[in-house]
Structure 1
């Protein structure tokens, strides 16, 4: 068994993947680390670049090196399926995912693993940098110590749901059968992280930005308009969460409020970012209270206003907001 399994997804990232793999292989912690690279039928030169980097790495005289596996999909399946494929091959006591357009601080694995062992943590989180073309923003996570409070922070948008700054005991995935939903390529990380935190007993924190989250990849799911398939996946996650909390008989008032915030966040995102928003054609079983919309802890004014227009059935207002938001993004 390895100490850490690092799972890297690869699709259309030839501009960035060399940097990513370099920083993973260049970690101060080498022994006991396996790297699983999952090729999701990338059509570009990403894999050629990866093999060039691996060739240089293998030529190094170091006695202790990471073990690297390359797994190839027969067809393009999307990020959620890639996550599941990587996990099915992982043999580490701890697991972490890395997006191939991002990169790591040299001591990220060493710092996270040391903290995880020291505190016997199920999940160990670190700060990270949001990297744009013209600026870098350091994000201080400062997660709550209580696992339920962490779920609340995730659902209300106060803590990022990404798996890439979280070292997790593989046993937590295995014991509770936690996997990504295949085809859900928006919020696929959150589909996993809210359940991980719900079942976690101990949570540790490294107060240092060890991960660089790149926000400039035009091919990233998070930078594109939401297709109908992506929107359907987001709405499916809402239903899955409803079923999960019902099964777990969760009655925490704060958690229920946070889930309401999450629903509002999803609907407003679809209204503003959907190519053809399908939310307007749905019969919403529940009317979102105006107060809950206005007091959402993390939504911007744009998104809150979109929700208010939707709540009042003013579709023209949503259209104007979409146009304004599109104009601002192009600047």
Structure 2
């Protein structure tokens, strides 16, 4: 039995997945299995998986019908044999010392979940994102999950039997909150948590995420996710904090992604009530002003201004990179 199972769900990532896999195979910690789960890719991803399986005996590959990210993660968990599990996304990459640090801490503390920091970056910049919780008690970390701790599973080494012990799996049919929902489900239980103050995971920010498809089904899915959290945390003191967090997420996604769907009047009709809550969002001041204006009937103008500012910022980053 390997110490760690690394699970990488893959869907149409032939142009990005090599860097991720190469960085995982370059870990200084070597007692692991790498599970590449091809979720019905239509490009050359499966051929690349086969190539790596031939190169390294630690690589196991699985090809399945497309079922979405949660389905691929659950499939990976069903095939994993390691004492601990951790996930990686095929468009990100990791520094070589990460698993060594996480495993040593997990074993020393006999932890069910070992958390660490991470990097958030794009092709022009890198930011260190501290994930130190104020308390290592599960009930306290659950609260912070909707405040200053990210719901990612890529920076959390989790004992594999946590999933089976509590009957937890990743929720199918939703997009964007699978990690956070699953972490909340785990943190409802009195598990042992440890923290390692190191960042090794490089979460690659993709500007294309600002132009994702949005329609009424997207809004309905967001509202369903909101109700899922409300139900999951029913009777828990964290419920209202989680509901507020998810309501903010519904509004934020609509603002950033809905410019081809919402007219200014339609956006105002749906989100006018949010005007007095914009200041609570973690956005830059000028963006908050634009969001507030959108709630008052100026959505199309506001979102065009925000994207203009964003694109200008990207141009400045590119110029700095060329000049310096």
Question: Which TM-score tier does this pair reach, normalised by the shorter chain?
Answer: 0.7 to 0.9
Give the superposition deviation at 1:240. Answer: 0.6
Q: Deviations over 1:238-262 (max 9, x none)?
A: 101111121xx2135xx62353133
Moved more, 263-272 or 163-172: 263-272
Coordinate RMSD, CA, aligned: 2.8
- Count residues with an aligned counterpart: 307
User: Residue 196 of structure 1: CA displacement?
Assistant: 2.0
Aligned counterparts of 2:70 and 2:99: Cα–Cα separation in 1 = 23
1:115: Cα distance to partner?
0.6
Contiguous gaps of at least 5 residues in structure 1: 59-65
| Cα deviation 1:95-143 (Å, max 9, x = unaligned) | 1111011111112222111111111112111111112111111111112
1:31-62 per-residue CA deviation (whole Å, 9 max, x = no partner) reads 2x22211101222222323333343335xxxx
Alignment match, 2:67: 77
Counterpart check, 1:273 vs 2:260: no
What corresponds to 2:298 in structure 1? 317
- Aligned pairs for 1:103-114 within 5 A: 103-114=93-104
Corresponding position of 2:320: none
Q: TM-score, normalised by structure 2?
A: 0.83
How far is the alpha carbon of 1:226 from its aligned partner? 4.0
**Which of 146, 167, 177 is the matching residue for 2:137?**
146
Provide the residue aligned with 1:225 in structure 2.
Answer: 212
Work out which of the residue numbers 142, 145, 161 in structure 2 matches 1:171: 161
Q: Secondary structure at the residue paired with 2:106?
A: helix
Change (3 A) 1:196 1:277: farther
Question: 2:168·2:186 contact (CA, 8 Å) conserved in 1?
Answer: yes
Cα distance change of structure 1 residues 95 and 232 upon mapping to structure 2, 3 Å threshold: farther
Is 1:269–1:303's contact at 8 Å kept on the other side of the alignment? no
Shift of 1:306: 6.1
Alignment correspondent of 2:247? 263
1:231-270 equivalent positions in 2, closer than 5 A: 231-246=219-234, 249-251=235-237, 256-270=240-254
Say if 1:185 and 1:230, in contact at 8 Å, map to a contact too: no
Tell me the SS of whatever aligns to 1:143: coil
| Range 91-100 or range 195-204, more displaced | 195-204
Deviation at 1:282, TM superposition (A): 8.9
After TM superposition, the score normalised by the length of structure 1 is 0.82
2:35 is matched with which residue?
36
Q: Is the 8 A contact 1:7 1:37 kept in 2?
A: yes
For the residue of structure 1 that corresponds to 2:3, the secondary structure is strand
Structure 2: segments with no counterpart, 5+ residues: 313-324
Counterpart among 76, 85, 94 of residue 84 in structure 2: 94
Following the alignment from structure 2 to structure 1, what is the Cα–Cα distance between the partners of residues 270 and 214?
Answer: 20
